Structure 1
């Protein structure tokens, strides 16, 4: 990413100007605090490395960005998700650079894939046509956050929507390697998806708290996870057995990343705590004396 960043800003000398350093350190739209802090840490270490090797680079740094550990994702209700998708379906055809855009076809399917499959927006936008198996109903993700390729099964309904979308003559006319091609035949940008997300929120009458407060586009993924756990709980499934399945499906690198959703599902607590109290409650007897 940093290499692409340097090329975009025409850096052709072996140095790291302060202006470029500062620009890289700016927080990006939709970027969470942990990712932002990690990027700043990495460029600071790289800058020190350059300086130690006699290459011009910044030597004075601002304090590292603080991470807001109190942040909670926005979890859409089922009704809000339905209203959001209905609003996305109302996107009208338009032209871009003299060519008819696919936005009115792309966004309805893209947002359903985000919710039904819990993909990260970057994973979804970079799906290539060859990675969509219309017969088995799977998506092969090769460009993921943790660089771990995975297969994501889709429902029969979503698979049929993918078939219908790809069979559209307008989509076929693009001849792009990407499943969601922009007018230049590359994939759609995240900022474009976010733009339509915000417009659809307004149409669906779902309030937005402003920059950094959400709902965020990434909250659709969080919502899918919480709704899935809620459904499993209602069906009486063993959450301990189910969590690793959800972890694999979402592409998490550890079970801890998936466990965080449990605190967003109040209905899950009873399923977890009641069996524990039943089986092990007498191991730790109740303390009646506060001094013990």
Structure 2
């Protein structure tokens, strides 16, 4: 059973439905995973058997406490979730609302995204092409994986595309109101154009999804991000001969975005671009609100692209400075 806002229940149902609709109105893409996390919070709050929605310090602390022993990232997400819901309730005029302090929210620093080498990406494309030759259901993934790597788009952004968002006259994709409420234009080349023409819904109505869900009919349903991510991990990576574990973390389809960004930055540096002149272009391509979010790709590029070791040393000296320096993030 798919999880939607219809699954919220009890005295907090109005709170969670309103919160999701408010966030979506700001351009946040609240997918299955986020809704599922909020539903768990809904279930926890309903154990207090209240007559009206309130949020006390004890309730917030209890919610965080039940996640002790889990991964730091899980605890961080729970702290952020309870804080954001509290802020929403406060702003909407609910009484007796405790807002979890921002300074208490932990942020993990040990996670490093996996950067696929060019050879690994070739293995991934080869694997999906073999799978597609055996089963038509994989035809979509042939186009999707190439789209992700060529544009560094997020999975959710590709699945949210409508027919009208892919302009084959100008070879430009329009990403509407994505993360951070940023809209951007992404050009694509003739190679990707052929795959988009082959794997997309090019004959649909302008407001139809470019990658509609199977048997969607007139329901307007889109493919689910979680299904795409799981199939990538469980089927495509093993077929490509790539271990899904990167240390203590699983490799994710989102790592294609990081790999693409590093490849783009590597190419620009090979062409002689100053790294900090290249960053604004890359930042716009990725849909970041500011260049600070893009700077991490300097270090990732230096660490994973042997062919630009010398340029990487220059990047480190100019862009990253001394590891002992304090930086404003």
Q: TM class by shorter-chain length?
A: 0.7 to 0.9
Q: Is contact 2:127–2:239 with CA below 8 Å preserved after alignment?
A: yes
> Residue 121 of structure 2 is aligned with which of 81, 90, 103?
81
**Partner residue of 1:187?**
222
Which whole-Å deviations, capped at 9, do the CAs of 1:272-291 have from their partners, x for residues lacking one?
A: 46789xxxxxxxxxxxxxxx
Q: CA deviation at 1:35?
A: 5.8
Deviation at 1:22, TM superposition (A): 3.5
Question: What does 1:92-241 align with in structure 2 at a 5 Å threshold?
Answer: 92=132, 103-166=137-200, 172=203, 177-183=208-214, 184=216, 185-198=220-233, 199-209=235-245, 213-241=249-277
> 1:19 deviation in Å?
5.9
Q: Tell me what 1:71 maps to.
A: 111
Which residue of the partner structure matches residue 42 of structure 2? 20
Deviation at 1:215, TM superposition (A): 1.0
Q: Distance in 1 between matches of 2:170 and 2:252?
A: 31
Q: Which consecutive unaligned segments of at least 5 residues does structure 1 have?
A: 95-100, 277-292
Question: TM-score with structure 1 length normalisation?
Answer: 0.73
- Mapped to 2, the partners of 1:105 and 1:174 lie a distance apart of 21
Q: 1:53: which partner in 2?
A: 95
Which residue pairs with 2:59 in the alignment?
Answer: none
| Rg (Cα) greater in structure | 1
Structure 2 gaps, min length 5? 17-38, 47-62, 68-72, 303-308, 320-329
For the residues of structure 2 that align with 1:103 and 1:125, how far apart are their CA atoms? Answer: 16
Structure 1 vs Structure 2 CA RMSD: 4.0
Contact 1:93/1:103 (8 A) holds in 2: no
Q: From the superposition, tell whether residues 64 and 18 of structure 1 become closer, same or farther in structure 2 (CA, over 3 Å).
A: farther
What is the count of residue pairs matched by the alignment? 258
SS at match of 1:116: helix
Matching residue of 1:8 = 7
User: What is the Cα deviation at residue 58 of structure 1?
Assistant: 8.9
Deviation track 1:90-143 (CA, whole Å, cap 9, x = no partner) reads 33599xxxxxx9732211111111111000111111000111001211111114
Does structure 2 conserve the Cα–Cα contact (< 8 Å) formed by 1:247 and 1:258? yes
Provide closer, same or farther for how the CA distance between residues 118 and 211 of structure 1 changes in structure 2, counting only shifts above 3 A: same
Rounded to whole Å, the distance in 2 between the matches of 1:122 and 1:157 is 22
In structure 2, how many angstroms separate the alpha carbons of the residues matched to 1:33 and 1:151? 35
User: Using a 3 Å threshold, how does the CA distance of structure 1 residues 235 and 271 change in structure 2: closer, same or farther?
Assistant: farther
Within 2, Cα distance between the matches of 1:253 and 1:33?
26
